[in-house]
Structure 1
Amino acid sequence: MALTQELYATPASRLDSFVAQWLQPHREWKEKVLDAVRTVEQFLRQEHFQGEHGLDRDVRVLKVIKVGSFGNGTILRSTREVELVAFLSCFHSFHEAATHHQAVLRLIWKAIWQSQDLLALGLECLRVEKRVPDAIVLTIQTWEAVEPITVTIVPAYRALGPSVPNSQPPAEVYVSLINACDVPGNFSPSFSELQRNFVKHRPTKLKSLLRLVKHWYHQARHPGSRRPHPQCSRRVQMGHRRSEGLPVPETGLLL
C-alpha cells in the first residue's frame, strides 16, 4: 500500500487514480473472501439453534447482513475482516436482546464447532470477543486464500423489521431504545441496516472519498516506526491513546 506521504503529495486531480491503484480491492481477491463468508451466512440462515432456559425452544436467524466496509462498498484492498449482523427470532425487544445475549453466543459457538461445512472450509479458531456488544469471531483458512479470513458474528434484535432503503423507523423504536437503558452502543447492531444503507446507495465518488479517509485514518493511527504525518489531527492521536490501540468494530464505524 502507498505511504501516507504519497497520499498527501497526490494532487486532487489524481485522487481517483490513487484510489484505483492503491485502495480498491482486486475483484478476484474480493470474491475469494466473499465465497468463504457466504458459507458462514448459509450456515446461519439454515441452522436451527436449540434454545436454552429463558429462550425460545427453536432459535432461528431471521436475516443476516454484511456490515461495515464489505456491506456498504467501501472496502480497502487486502482487508480480510468481515462483520455479520444476525437478527434472531428469539429477541422480541431490546431488553430480551440484552438479557439473553450471552446465552445466544453460547448457542452459536457450539453450533459452529459442530458444523461440518465450516470445519471443511478451514475453521481454525473460534472465540468470544469482549466488546460492545460481545461477538463471536472465527478465523478461516481456505485453500484459495493465502492469508486467513476473520468473520465476526454479532447477534441482534431486529428492531426495524423488514426495513426498506431510506425508510424512516417509527418513533416507537427509539422510545423503546431509550427505555432499555443499557450500555451505550450495545444496541447499535439493531440499526446496522440504516448505517449500511446510508452509504451503500451513495455515488461511487463519495465511496472513494470514504476510502481515502479510512486509508489516512489507519496510517495516522498505526504509523509504525515512522512519525505521524504533521497533518495528522491531534484528535486521532488522542483517540488512539484512549482506545489503547484496540481496533474499532465495523458496527462502530459508519465508514
Structure 2
Amino acid sequence: MGSWKSRVYEQPSEKLEEFIQNYLRPSEDCQNDIDQSVDTICAVLQRPCQSLTVTGVAKGGSYGRRTVLRGNSDGTLVVFFGDLEQFQDQEKRQYELLGEIWAQMKHCECTLNLAAKMELQNTNRSSRVTVQLSTKQQSITFNARLPENQTFCFSFTPGLSEKPSLWSYRELKRSLDMLKARPGVFSVCFTELQEKFFSSYPSKLKDLILLVKYWCQKCQEKLNNSSLLPLYALELLTVYAWEQGCGAEDFDMAEGVRTVLGLIEKQEQLCVYWTVNYNFGDETIRNILLSQLQAPRPVILDPTDPTNNVSKDNTYWPLLKNEAQNRLHSLRQNESPGPSWNVPPAPLYLTPGHLLDKFIEDFLQPDQTFQDQIKKALKTICSFLEENCFRHSTTKLQVIHWGSTAKGTALKTGSDANLVVFADSLKSYTSPKNERCNIIREIHKQLEACQQQKDFEVKFEISKWKAPWVLSFTLKSKVLNESIDFHVVPAFDALGKTPKI
C-alpha cells in the first residue's frame, strides 16, 4: 500500500476517487459525531452571560472549510463579541474574554454528554484555549486564540449573505498601522467569509484538496521536516487551479493533481488572488492589493483579507517544489506525466516583460508535437476525402484547411478551424441547399471510413450532431489537454481554381 500511495498522482481518476473515499475523507459516522458535538459547544458559548454578549460562533480552519483529512486535523471556533467595537479592542480585553470562553467550555465538558470525546487545554497566561474532539477514527483540534495568534475576533459583518463593507477593510488597514501589527494578523475576523467562500465550490473539488493536502503531509514525513505546512495556501491554490483550468463539477482527478503540482513547480511566478469580497475600486484597498501583487513570489492572497498573503512563509515552498518536480518527472525520459489543465501561475498583465515569450510558449501556443500531429492527420483526412468522396460520379472535391491552425494563430485551448470543401457540383453562391446537404452526407460517410481505416497519432472524434447541413469533428491529443474543433464547410469555388494552402 505504501508504494501505491507514494505514486498516487499517477493513478487513474477513478482509482484516486476510490482512494479518497477509503482513506482520506472522514467516515460519515465520525463526521456526524463531531458535527453534533461542535454544534452543542457553539450553543453553550452563545448562552447569555452577565459580563459579555456573544453574538455568534464561526467555524474555521479545515473543519469550517470542509477540507478535513481522516485521522488528525484542525479547526477554529471563532467567538464574536458584540461589545467589541474595533479590531484593537481584542488585545485590551484578551484575558477577560479568554477566561469567559474557558468557563463556558469547562461547563460544557462537565455537564454535557457529547457524541465525541472532549478534552480541554489551557495554562496560566496561555494565549489560547484548545479543544480536542475525537472519535475512534477522527480527531480535530480546535483553537480559540487571542489576536496575536489570529483566532480571536469581533464580528464586523451583519450576515453571511452580505459582502463586507468598504469600512471594514479601511478600518482593518487603520488598525494594522496604528498597532504596527503584521499584515494578516486579524484575518480570523473574516472566518465567516472564508466558510462562505469554500461552501460555494463542489464537493469533488474539496476531494481534490484532500488529495493535495495528503501529498503535502507525505512530503513532510519523507523530509522529516517540522516546518509549518502551508495547507491553507495549498487549498487556495487548488481552488485557483480548478477555476482557471476546469470549472466543471465532474472532472479528472489525476489531471487536477498534476495541475496543482505543476503550479507548485512554478512557485517563483505564482501570483493568485480573488476579488469576490474586495477589489481595486476603493483607493485604500487598491493600494493594499498593488503592494501585495508586487511582493516576492509566491503570492497567494486570502480571498477574504487582502492584507494576508498566506504563502509568505517561504520555509517549506522550495522543499515542496523539489518534491513536485520529482513526482512530475519521475517517469521515463521523454514520457509525459499525463494531461493537466492549462493554468498560468499569474495573470498575463502581472508577467514581467522578459518572461512574456516564455508565457506565450507555455500557456498560449499549442504544443509543437501536437501541432505536427495535427498537420499530419489533416493531410491524411483531406487526401482521403478528395480520393474517396463521390468516387462513382463526376463530382470532384478539393479540400482546403483554413482558420487559426492554418495561419499559425491557434491557442492551446479553445481553438477551431474550417475545412472548406470546394465541389464542382456547386455552380454558384446560391446553389440549392439540398446539394450542400448531399455533400455533407457524403463527407460524413467518408470521414467515418477514414476513421476506421487510417491510424492517427491523435484522437479522431466525429460530431454526433445529426443536422444535415452541419458537420464537425475534433482532433485531440492522446497525452495533453489540447484539442482543435474542425467544421466542414461546402463552398462555391468562385475563383475557379483555388490554390492549396
TM over 0.5: yes
- For 1:215, the equivalent position in structure 2 comes to 214
Report the Cα offset of residue 147 of structure 1.
6.8
Instruction: Measure, in 2, the Cα distance between the counterparts of 1:67 and 1:60.
Output: 21
- For 2:37, the equivalent position in structure 1 comes to 36
Report the Cα offset of residue 155 of structure 1.
3.0
- For 2:347, the equivalent position in structure 1 comes to none
- For 1:158, the equivalent position in structure 2 comes to 155
Identity across matched positions, percent: 24
Question: Counterpart of 1:190 in structure 2: which amino acid?
Answer: C
TM-score, scaled to structure 1: 0.72
- In our comparison, the structure showing a higher alpha carbon Rg is 2
- For 1:27, the equivalent position in structure 2 comes to 28
Deviations 1:191-226 (A, max 9, x none): 112212111121123212211111111111233779
Question: Counterpart of 1:239 in structure 2: which amino acid?
Answer: Y
Deviations 1:144-177 (A, max 9, x none): 647765332343111122231xx43211111100
Cα distance change on mapping 1:25 and 1:123 into 2, 3 Å: closer
The question of whether the paired residues in 2 share the 8 Å contact of 1:126 and 1:138 is answered with yes
Cα distance change on mapping 1:130 and 1:29 into 2, 3 Å: farther
1:1-255 alignment, distance < 5 Å: 4-48=5-49, 50=50, 58-79=51-72, 81-115=74-108, 117=110, 121=114, 123-127=118-122, 134-140=127-133, 145=136, 150-153=141-144, 154-164=151-161, 167-181=162-176, 182-223=181-222, 238-239=315-316
Report the Cα offset of residue 89 of structure 1.
1.4
Cα distance change on mapping 1:205 and 1:119 into 2, 3 Å: closer
The range that moved more, 217-226 or 59-68, is 217-226
| 3-state SS of paired residue (2:189) | helix
Answer 1 or 2: higher relative contact order, Cα 8 Å, separation at least 6. 1
| 3-state SS of paired residue (1:66) | strand
Structure 2, unaligned runs of 5 or more: 145-150, 226-260, 268-312, 319-501
Question: Counterpart of 2:165 in structure 1: which amino acid?
Answer: P
* CA root-mean-square deviation: 3.6
Instruction: Measure, in 2, the Cα distance between the counterparts of 1:201 and 1:43.
Output: 28
Deviations 1:75-116 (A, max 9, x none): 212235432111111211112123223331122223433446
| 3-state SS of paired residue (1:94) | coil
- For 2:300, the equivalent position in structure 1 comes to none
Cα distance change on mapping 1:123 and 1:11 into 2, 3 Å: closer
Question: Counterpart of 1:77 in structure 2: which amino acid?
Answer: R
The question of whether the paired residues in 2 share the 8 Å contact of 1:129 and 1:137 is answered with no
Report the Cα offset of residue 64 of structure 1.
1.0
TM-score, scaled to structure 2: 0.39
The range that moved more, 6-15 or 58-67, is 6-15
Aligned length: 224
